[in-house]
Structure 1
Amino acid sequence: MQPPPVTASVRVRRAEVSDLDDLVALEESSFVQDRLSRAQYRKHLDSESALVLVASANHRRFLGTAVVFFRKGTTVARLYSIATTPHAQGKGVGSALIHASENAARGRGCRSLRLEVRKDNAVAIRLYERLGYVRIGEYANYYADGTGAFRFEKLL
């Protein structure tokens, strides 16, 4: 059965322990390699240096997640991971998660948000560029399968 369409009322909030099963399931369905484990998600949920966000609609319908890392002594935050469920892709969920990540980074005094993206992920690259991210570099053989990454940054 096809899930109902995503509505415009996407809500982004900090993830809770009760979201753990949904977080792990989305991670496993979204990424073949370079996945966050259940234990890593559990650690990040309680960490001062990480923020796990979830997007939902219609009171708990899980649509996506973003993980942001913060380091003491720097004003640069890092969008470490972002994923949306297949039926939510192209419906503004990724944009909502990125905006919430930017707001969280600003709230912690960060001046920029950086990220890495697979060189072959044209959809994500277009999204980041549309949202004002600028390519600042690249890494060869960044991912486990040998694919390179582009580095992007947005000044907040």
Structure 2
Amino acid sequence: MRPSPATASVRVRRAETSDLDDLVTLEDRTFDSDRMTRDQYRRHLDSDSALVLVASANHRRFLGTAVVFFRKGSSVARLYSLASQPESRGKGVGTALVEATEAAARQRRCRTLRLEVRTDNISAMKLYERLGYQRIASLPRFYQDGADGWRYEKALD
């Protein structure tokens, strides 16, 4: 799959232990609740059932991250977290990370990718819908702070 023009300058790779400080800093900058801890990131970096991706530009600047979970024996992958630096939003980082997540899920023979999003996160919902995700369920009081969510999914055929 060739990158779309908006994502051509964004490079996505598997996260490494050396990315830990940047991952935790972005997590703290992006989310007010439901944050992943340093220990959780460390476990996910070494896990067969999780994949942590990072997006960068010019091989240096840390622009964003995605965390996807895989369950053994399941054809459904779950995009657990997507975050980008505030100054990088609207510049193709989210698209590049979602496309890389989809590619990784296909590589693991997953047929569906699911995710949850806060009902007040309009920009994320627009991104997911633009990329072909369908809203499939309402999630009342889904988030730690009591906020409602939506579940989305996309067939990866």
Give me the TM-score of the superposition, normalised by structure 2.
Answer: 0.94
Deviations 1:40-79 (CA, angstroms, capped at 9, x unpaired):
0000000000000000001221000000000011100000
- Amino acid of the residue matched to residue 15 of structure 2? A
Structure 1 contact 7–57 (Cα < 8 Å) conserved:
no
Note the C-alpha offset of 1:8.
Answer: 4.6
- What secondary structure does 2:135 align onto? strand
* Pairing 1:56-135 to 2, within 5 Å after superposition: 56-135=56-135
Corresponding residue number in structure 2 for 1:23: 23
Residues in 1 aligned to 2:43 and 2:60: alpha-carbon distance in whole angstroms: 22
Give me the TM-score of the superposition, normalised by structure 1.
Answer: 0.95
- Amino acid of the residue matched to residue 27 of structure 2? E
Which 4+ runs in 1 deviate beyond 3 A? none
Residues in 1 aligned to 2:139 and 2:7: alpha-carbon distance in whole angstroms: 37
Distance 1:134 1:21, change over 3 A: same
Residues in 2 aligned to 1:67 and 1:154: alpha-carbon distance in whole angstroms: 17
Q: How many residues align?
A: 151
Structure 2 unaligned blocks of 5 or more: 1-5
Note the C-alpha offset of 1:7.
Answer: 8.5
Corresponding residue number in structure 1 for 2:139: 139
- What secondary structure does 1:147 align onto? coil
* Pairing 1:26-45 to 2, within 5 Å after superposition: 26-45=26-45
Structure 1 unaligned blocks of 5 or more: 1-5
Percent of paired sites with the same residue? 68
Structure 1 contact 76–112 (Cα < 8 Å) conserved:
yes
Aligned-residue CA RMSD (Å): 1.2
